[in-house]
Amino acid sequence: MTSLRADGLCKVFGTRPEEALRRSRAGDPAGAGATVAVLDVGFTVEPGETFVVMGLSGSGKSTLIRILNGLLTPTAGRVRADDRDVTALTGRELRGLRQRTMSMVFQHFALLPHRTVLDNAEYGPLVRGDPPARARERAVEALGMVGLTGWEDRFPAQLSGGMRQRVGLARALAAGTDVLLMDEAFSALDPLIKRDMQDQLVRLQGELGKTIVFITHDLNEAMRLGDRIAVMRAGRIVQVGTAAEILHRPADDYVARFVRDVDRSRVLTAGLVAEPAVHADRAGPLRRALELLREHDLDRLPITDRGRPVGLLERSAAELAPPDTALADLLHPGPEPVAADRTLDGFLGRVGTDTPVVDGTGRLVGLVRPVPLLRALGAGGQEDGDA
């Protein structure tokens, strides 16, 4: 499986590129005759990751993706596919790269109109030099993956937009490349069909584990598909993170405006909103638990057993009990813990309580408290103090 890495990528269209870059970095207009489309962009896409690039029209997304597969030469910077320096390849080597390592899926499908669905799908493996029988086998298999079995002999004009894009996807899959580059691949589709294609891509990705760079200006699409999302603005990447990270801590106002209308409860997770909690071990003395309650001015204290939450100690009960009482005898169960990766929509019925959050091994990572929970679900997103 292939990783992709971009370092210091810049692309200037027009004249005097060095000067345009210098001016842009200083925050000035690039100057007449030059457009800075990509500016100082760096990121790594891990093997098997779906990396979404999102941004308004003109922010440089298409330019960036075309630099990744060598269709454009960057003004500065470097692209690596595993250990290969894509930016140093010759034209011939680049064609090889696009045939064997990276396939592109376009917004307007780019199918061969006078060829059948099957011909279109086997084009990639044929160009790459697969024997015809093998190319056909791969094409048939890829068409099956996208649900087009039985449509092999049709022509593109006989298909709906969604089906045409399935052919586009099948063509990329038949090529058998590790990397898929998808530039607004679903943007031209009707909303319902678009949703279908997204589901299908998620399903296929679960089986195939490709390294995908997916460009979109649709935030919901970005969140549905992306393991991580990079937000571009005027050629720069202004933030990279998971959907939840971006929602919870947008890097600036531009990003905050982008994510303003998202249903946060379905994206944010308990682990993100949980705050560290003082707690005491069940085997410890009551005296120590009481100290913690007083020191931190708490009404109740989570009690753990080897890190796992087992209940709550009420301060009133702790104050009244004889000093040699075992903690275990004073516990009451408290709210059921939730997993750190649970989204907040599962919480809405328990807003009034402190909910313990546990990691994959059942250990307490913190508490989701009512005020931070409500703040996280509110439209602002930005933390009060630390943003």
Ligand X SMILES: Nc1ncnc2c1ncn2[C@@H]1O[C@H](COP(=O)(O)OP(=O)(O)OP(=O)(O)O)[C@@H](O)[C@H]1O
Nearest-angstrom CA–CA distance, 238 and 255: 8
Nearest-angstrom CA–CA distance, 231 and 241: 9
Partner from ligand X, Mg ion, none binding residue 382, C-beta < 5-8 Å depending on class:
none
Helix extents (H) in the chain: 17-25, 61-68, 91-100, 117-128, 132-145, 161-174, 191-208, 219-225, 243-248, 253-259, 270-273, 286-295, 315-320, 370-377
Nearer to Mg ion, 6 or 145 (CB): 6
Nearer to Mg ion, 62 or 200 (CB): 62
Nearer to ligand X, 13 or 155 (CB): 13
The size of the interface with ligand X (CB under 6 A), counted in residues, is 12
Nearest-angstrom CA–CA distance, 39 and 12: 8
Q: How many helices (H) and strands (E) does the chain have?
A: 14, 16
Partner from Mg ion, ligand X, none binding residue 216, C-beta < 5-8 Å depending on class:
none
Residue 251 contacts by C-beta under 8 Å, 6 or more apart in sequence? Answer: 231, 238, 239
Partner from Mg ion, ligand X, none binding residue 125, C-beta < 5-8 Å depending on class:
none
Nearer to ligand X, 55 or 334 (CB): 55
Task: Return the residue of 3, 13, 95, 346 that touches ligand X, per CB under 6 A.
Answer: 13
Q: Does 254 bind ligand X (CB under 6 A)?
A: no
Dump the DSSP string for 295-340: HTT-SEEEEEETTEEEEEEEHHHHHHS-TT--GGGT-B--SPPEET
Nearer to ligand X, 109 or 151 (CB): 109
Partner from ligand X, Mg ion, none binding residue 2, C-beta < 5-8 Å depending on class:
none
- For ligand X, the binding residues in 51-110 under the rule CB under 6 A are 55, 57-63
Q: Minimum distance between the CB of residue 53 and ligand X, rounded to whole angstroms?
A: 8
DSSP state for residue 188 in the 8-state scheme? T
Q: Minimum distance between the CB of residue 194 and Mg ion, rounded to whole angstroms?
A: 17
Binding mask 3-42 for Mg ion (x = CB under 5 A): ----------------------------------------
Distances (CA, A) of 103 to 98, 200, 303, 316: 6, 18, 54, 65
Q: Minimum distance between the CB of residue 58 and Mg ion, rounded to whole angstroms?
A: 8
- For Mg ion, the binding residues in 60-99 under the rule CB under 5 A are 62
Nearer to ligand X, 76 or 321 (CB): 76
Nearer to ligand X, 59 or 205 (CB): 59
Determine the Cα angle at 137 with ends 135 and 142, to 5°: 95
Q: Minimum distance between the CB of residue 57 and ligand X, rounded to whole angstroms?
A: 3
Radius of gyration (C-alpha) of the chain in whole angstroms? 27
- For ligand X, the binding residues in 178-217 under the rule CB under 6 A are 217
Nearer to Mg ion, 187 or 242 (CB): 187
Nearest-angstrom CA–CA distance, 193 and 184: 14
Structure-token pair, residue 133: 């029988």
Q: How many residues does the chain have?
A: 387
- For ligand X, the binding residues in 27-56 under the rule CB under 6 A are 35, 37, 55
The size of the interface with Mg ion (CB under 5 A), counted in residues, is 1
The site for ligand X (CB under 6 A) is made up of 13, 35, 37, 55, 57-63, 217
The site for Mg ion (CB under 5 A) is made up of 62
